[in-house]
């Protein structure tokens, strides 16, 4: 007997709708949901092979504990593990206080789980010691939107792609990282003549149909974007009426970019004056510009400035809140959007509220029925600071849910030291990750996305219901259930009957918020298909784009221009470390390969780590394709396999982030954007050393 279950692809933030055909409790087929607005039935290679990723060999199906880190984890009953977790956490609370316990979450968790942990940590425990791997992914975009538009949240929709006449893609290999979005862009370029400008030190698949590829030097995006705004002003593409009616700070920004002439911009970016002028002319000629960006912008110590500079251009031209227009950050994970909506970053509360705003704390305290003053007004530590505090002994315990920091955090020797020092490490996951195998004192088995009900929010604010297709194996339980079960044993008042009850409480907290209002989005309605927020009533159809009326989410309704000052990466090439190293993803793999490692089709193109190098640099070093090479930086070293790529800038190297063996995070730097605290994962300096065998 087979049935079809609707859900969302659990890989990237495009959030494609899928239909799982289930036969005798097994998913036998996956197809794109033709009614879903993200993909209209299409899937990329990862989405199309989903049924093969559901039964990984690394699955954590039963709880495990160990009392000695040198011993192996041993399986125990779930009740025993939950009791043990609660007892150990309570012992730490009694000795050191609630603030000694940190939570580290993931953009792969449902809205319901992230909301529940937020309530436990920030409401019931009264600390803000929680953060998420969105800190590595979208924190700079969050800060840029908030500073300029008054709140987080991309204003655009995927449907704007078909209405744009010009795409500016900065720091995003969209073709490989957000493939379905790229297919839509490609159609608009090839069939409807839209212009595509791609800014990236590597010429990637994304540039395949580009009208212009700008290989700007790593870290020089802010200079380039300031230079483009200079041209937009100079050549009369600025919408002064929009600026006068809907913004503040124009004179400061206009003054600030005066010096960013094409010549100055070319000098700062390594581009030619002609390239800068050509890009500027394309933007001047456009009526409907869609600017997209991702990790190449965000993962930088100048990330907020870069994202802000993109938004400044849209405010200056009035190309926001209109069809085919707007600044559009592309989220890496399937629910990194939703996680920040429900408040899982260290400074946030549900509904895009902040812990350091008294009115926001009061609203949430009242809604949660906890005493006034329960929520701490000081933002908690960001992800890197949290692990530093663990290493310093200020934090004693960490509860890691749905992510593998040992692989994904920058300069991962510091993460190793932190986990070694921790008195208690709880890892709650679908998989036996390296963090779990090496450091978990308690491992809790989580049900994965296809095994429990919940919601995800995609990059363009669509909320999709995940329906369970088959029962979770062994003792695995939904993440929210596991957290609540431990919290109850710690004597906290959390009594949600199911995921829907959590969602209903959360959506109630957003009623009347602008623009993040999901109060009209019920599970019942989501059963008929995704809904795009804002959706303030049960009879409201959802909202395609934000700020269409020119009213922004600031106190006076005006968007704020912000001056953006370029800052070069924290580590630049030197005599000893002469290469830039930049990192990224490949189409067939997903993050730390927990999901993709066992899917044969996804491992045909690349079967391990590699390092791309320009042929001139390879000649100078005397290395050739397929050769193993040592990559050495100031914080560590690894080996990788040489790939010659004439499309990468000379002096620049590229490594994918996916493989633990050859992981560039042994090399990456802890530097972070001072506002967003997002680490600079995209740039550090290294040397290469050929390996002489024998």
Using CB under 6 A as the binding rule, whether residue 17 contacts ligand SF4 is answered as no
Q: 185 or 391, CB closer to ligand SF4?
A: 185
| DSSP-assigned letters across all residues of 204-265 | -GGGTT-SEEE-PPTT-HHHHHHHHHHHHHHTT---HHHHHHHEE-HHHHHHHTTT--HHHH
Using CB under 6 A as the binding rule, whether residue 47 contacts ligand SF4 is answered as yes
Q: 179 or 566, CB closer to ligand SF4?
A: 179
Using CB under 6 A as the binding rule, whether residue 327 contacts ligand SF4 is answered as no
CB atoms within 10 A of CB 524: 10
Q: 104 or 209, CB closer to ligand SF4?
A: 209
Q: 181 or 444, CB closer to ligand SF4?
A: 181
CB atoms within 10 A of CB 482: 25
CA–CA dist 484, 505 (Å, integer) = 15
Whether 260 and 280 have beta carbons less than 8 Å apart is answered as: no
Whether 211 and 204 have beta carbons less than 8 Å apart is answered as: no
Q: How far is the CB of 39 from ligand SF4 (least distance, A)?
A: 6
Q: 243 or 458, CB closer to ligand SF4?
A: 458
Question: Pick from 217, 170, 213: which is nearest to 650 by CA?
Answer: 217
CA–CA dist 254, 248 (Å, integer) = 12
Among positions 19, 27, 37, 39, the unique one binding ligand SF4 when judged by CB under 6 A: 39
Q: 283 or 458, CB closer to ligand SF4?
A: 458
Using CB under 6 A as the binding rule, whether residue 9 contacts ligand SF4 is answered as yes
CA–CA dist 405, 169 (Å, integer) = 29
On the question of a cis peptide bond just before residue 686, with omega within 30 degrees of 0, the verdict is no
CA–CA dist 132, 125 (Å, integer) = 18
Using CB under 6 A as the binding rule, whether residue 46 contacts ligand SF4 is answered as yes
| DSSP-assigned letters across all residues of 419-451 | HHH-SEEEEEESB--HHHHHH-SEEEEBP-GGG
Whether 558 and 670 have beta carbons less than 8 Å apart is answered as: no
Q: Which stretch binds ligand SF4 (CB under 6 A): 36-44, 61-69, 531-539, 616-624?
A: 36-44
Tokens of 395: 């934090």
Residue nearest to ligand SF4 (CB): 47
DSSP letter assigned to residue 667? T
Q: How far is the CB of 330 from ligand SF4 (least distance, A)?
A: 10
Q: Scanning residues 266 to 305, which ones bind ligand SF4 (CB under 6 A)? A: none
Q: 188 or 484, CB closer to ligand SF4?
A: 188
Number of H-type helices and E-type strands within the chain: 23, 28
Q: 47 or 402, CB closer to ligand SF4?
A: 47
Q: How far is the CB of 44 from ligand SF4 (least distance, A)?
A: 3
Using CB under 6 A as the binding rule, whether residue 44 contacts ligand SF4 is answered as yes
CB atoms within 10 A of CB 212: 16
Among positions 6, 12, 167, 222, the unique one binding ligand SF4 when judged by CB under 6 A: 12
Residues 6 or more apart whose CB falls under 8 angstroms from that of 623 comprise 613, 629, 642, 688, 690
Using CB under 6 A as the binding rule, whether residue 671 contacts ligand SF4 is answered as no
Q: How far is the CB of 12 from ligand SF4 (least distance, A)?
A: 3
Using CB under 6 A as the binding rule, whether residue 14 contacts ligand SF4 is answered as yes
Q: How far is the CB of 496 from ligand SF4 (least distance, A)?
A: 28
Using CB under 6 A as the binding rule, whether residue 129 contacts ligand SF4 is answered as no
Q: 180 or 283, CB closer to ligand SF4?
A: 180
Q: Which stretch binds ligand SF4 (CB under 6 A): 7-15, 158-166, 430-438, 547-555?
A: 7-15
Q: 12 or 311, CB closer to ligand SF4?
A: 12
Using CB under 6 A as the binding rule, whether residue 56 contacts ligand SF4 is answered as no
Residues 6 or more apart whose CB falls under 8 angstroms from that of 68 comprise none
Tokens of 35: 């009614």
Q: How far is the CB of 101 from ligand SF4 (least distance, A)?
A: 34
Q: How far is the CB of 51 from ligand SF4 (least distance, A)?
A: 13
Q: 88 or 178, CB closer to ligand SF4?
A: 178
3 state DSSP class of 540: coil
Q: Which stretch binds ligand SF4 (CB under 6 A): 176-184, 503-511, 629-637, 650-658?
A: 176-184
Q: Which stretch binds ligand SF4 (CB under 6 A): 6-14, 259-267, 506-514, 683-691?
A: 6-14
Among positions 73, 116, 180, 446, the unique one binding ligand SF4 when judged by CB under 6 A: 180
CA–CA dist 170, 48 (Å, integer) = 27
Using CB under 6 A as the binding rule, whether residue 482 contacts ligand SF4 is answered as no
CA–CA dist 173, 191 (Å, integer) = 21
Q: How far is the CB of 107 from ligand SF4 (least distance, A)?
A: 13
Using CB under 6 A as the binding rule, whether residue 11 contacts ligand SF4 is answered as yes
Question: Pick from 429, 423, 449: which is nearest to 62 by CA?
Answer: 429
Whether 157 and 532 have beta carbons less than 8 Å apart is answered as: yes
Among positions 22, 27, 30, 43, the unique one binding ligand SF4 when judged by CB under 6 A: 43
| DSSP-assigned letters across all residues of 279-326 | HHHHHHH-SSEEEEE-HHHHSSTTHHHHHHHHHHHHHHHT-SSSTT-E
Among positions 56, 150, 171, 179, the unique one binding ligand SF4 when judged by CB under 6 A: 179
Q: Which stretch binds ligand SF4 (CB under 6 A): 11-19, 72-80, 264-272, 680-688?
A: 11-19
CB atoms within 10 A of CB 619: 12
CB atoms within 10 A of CB 608: 12
Q: Which stretch binds ligand SF4 (CB under 6 A): 38-46, 316-324, 353-361, 614-622?
A: 38-46
Total chain residues near ligand SF4 (CB under 6 A): 14
Q: Which stretch binds ligand SF4 (CB under 6 A): 157-165, 177-185, 235-243, 440-448?
A: 177-185
Q: How far is the CB of 49 from ligand SF4 (least distance, A)?
A: 10
Q: How far is the CB of 8 from ligand SF4 (least distance, A)?
A: 7
Task: Give contact residues for ligand SF4 (rule: CB under 6 A).
Answer: 9, 11-12, 14-16, 39, 43-44, 46-47, 178-180
């Amino acid at each position: 007997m087979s049935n079809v279950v609707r859900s969302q692809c659990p890989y990237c933030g495009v959030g494609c709708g899928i239909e799982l055909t289930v036969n005798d409790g097994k998913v036998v087929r996956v197809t794109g949901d033709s009614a879903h607005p993200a993909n209209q039935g299409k899937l990329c290679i990862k989405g199309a092979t989903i049924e093969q990723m559901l039964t990984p060999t690394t699955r954590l199906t039963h709880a495990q504990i160990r009392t000695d880190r040198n011993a192996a984890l041993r399986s125990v009953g779930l009740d025993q593990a939950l009791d043990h977790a609660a007892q150990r956490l309570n012992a730490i609370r009694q000795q050191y206080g609630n603030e000694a316990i940190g939570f580290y979450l993931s953009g792969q968790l449902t809205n319901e789980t992230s909301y529940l942990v937020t309530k436990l940590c920030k409401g019931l425990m009264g600390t803000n010691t929680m953060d998420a791997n969105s800190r590595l992914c979208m924190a700079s975009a969050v800060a840029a939107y908030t500073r300029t538009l008054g709140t987080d949240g991309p204003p655009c929709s995927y449907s704007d792609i078909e209405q744009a006449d010009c795409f500016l893609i900065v720091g995003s290999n969209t073709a490989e990282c957000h493939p379905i979005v790229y297919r839509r862009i490609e159609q608009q370029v090839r069939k409807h003549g839209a212009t595509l400008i791609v800014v990236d030190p590597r010429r990637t698949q994304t540039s395949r149909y580009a009208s212009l590829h700008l290989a700007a030097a790593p870290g020089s995006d802010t200079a380039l974007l300031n230079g483009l705004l200079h041209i937009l002003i100079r050549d009369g593409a600025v919408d002064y009426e929009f600026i006068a009616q809907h913004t503040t700070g124009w004179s400061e920004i206009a003054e600030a970019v005066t010096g960013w002439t094409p010549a100055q911009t070319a000098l700062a970016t390594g581009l030619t004056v002609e390239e800068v002028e050509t890009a500027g002319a394309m933007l001047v000629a456009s009526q409907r510009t869609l600017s997209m960006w991702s990790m190449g912008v965000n993962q930088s110590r100048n990330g907020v400035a870069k994202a802000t500079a993109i938004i400044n251009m849209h405010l200056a031209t009035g190309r926001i809140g209109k069809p085919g227009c707007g600044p559009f950050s592309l989220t890496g994970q399937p629910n990194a959007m939703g996680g920040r909506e429900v408040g899982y970053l260290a400074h946030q509360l549900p509904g895009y509220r902040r812990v350091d705003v008294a009115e926001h704390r009061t609203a949430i305290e009242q809604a949660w029925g906890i005493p006034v003053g329960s929520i701490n007004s000081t933002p908690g530590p960001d992800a890197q600071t949290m692990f530093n505090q663990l290493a310093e002994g200020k934090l004693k315990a960490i509860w890691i849910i749905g992510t593998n920091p040992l692989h994904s955090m920058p300069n991962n020797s510091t993460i190793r030291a932190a986990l070694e020092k921790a008195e208690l490490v709880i890892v709650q996951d679908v998989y036996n990750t390296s963090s779990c195998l090496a450091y978990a004192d308690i491992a809790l088995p989580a049900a994965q996305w296809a095994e429990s009900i919940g919601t995800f929010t995609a990059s363009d604010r669509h909320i999709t219901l995940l329906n369970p297709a088959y029962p979770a194996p062994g003792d695995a339980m939904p993440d929210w259930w596991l957290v609540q079960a431990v919290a109850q044993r710690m004597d906290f008042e959390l009594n949600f009957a199911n995921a829907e009850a959590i969602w209903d409480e959360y959506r109630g907290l957003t009623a009347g918020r602008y623009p993040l209002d999901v109060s009209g989005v019920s599970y019942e309605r989501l059963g008929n298909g995704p809904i795009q927020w804002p959706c303030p009533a049960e009879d409201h159809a959802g909202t395609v784009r934000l700020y269409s009326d020119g009213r922004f989410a600031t106190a006076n309704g005006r968007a704020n221009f912000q001056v953006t000052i370029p800052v070069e990466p924290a580590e630049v090439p030197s005599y000893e470390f002469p290469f830039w190293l930049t990192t990224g993803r490949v189409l067939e793999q997903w993050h730390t390969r927990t999901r993709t490692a066992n899917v044969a089709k996804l491992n045909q193109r690349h079967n391990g780590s590699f390092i791309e190098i320009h042929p001139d640099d390879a000649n100078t070093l005397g290395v050739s394709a397929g050769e193993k090479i040592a990559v050495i930086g100031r914080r560590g070293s690894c080996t990788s396999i040489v790939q010659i790529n004439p499309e990468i800038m000379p002096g620049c190297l590229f490594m994918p982030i996916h493989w633990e063996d050859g992981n560039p995070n042994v090399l990456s730097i802890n530097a972070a954007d001072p506002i967003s605290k997002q680490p600079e994962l995209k740039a550090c300096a290294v040397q290469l050393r050929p390996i002489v065998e024998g």
